[in-house]
Amino acid sequence: MKIENNKTDRETEDPLLPKVFDYLNKFDFPLAYFIQKKFKIGFSRAERILRQIEAKKISLSQ
């Protein structure tokens, strides 16, 4: 039986996260559409990156 890591693919940090974070600093209201268009990725991945950014902001503010 193969032992799997506790983190799933959805929980691992996206490699685009730092680039997207820098890009979104230009906007007052971040939208998945902006990420999709700039980085040519799908909606699901863009939303996942936004959730990761939000989670980092919350953990840093505590």
Whole-number pLDDT of residue 57: 80
pLDDT by residue (tens digit) across 49-59? 999 999 988 77
What are the backbone angles phi and psi of residue 11, rounded to the nearest 5°? Answer: -90, -15
What's the pLDDT at 3? Answer: 46
- Give the total number of structural domains in the chain: 1
Chain segment 3-60, per-residue pLDDT in tens: 444 455 556 899 999 999 999 888 888 899 999 999 999 999 999 999 999 998 877 6
| Distance set, CA 49 to CA 1, 18, 26, 30, 37 (Å) | 32, 10, 16, 11, 14
Residue 48 inside a domain? The answer is: yes
Asked whether residue 5 is domain-assigned, the answer is: no
Tally of CB atoms within 10 A around 39: 14
pTM above 0.85, yes or no: no
What pLDDT score was predicted for residue 8? 52
**In a domain? residue 12:** no
Domain enclosing residue 21, as ranges: 17-61
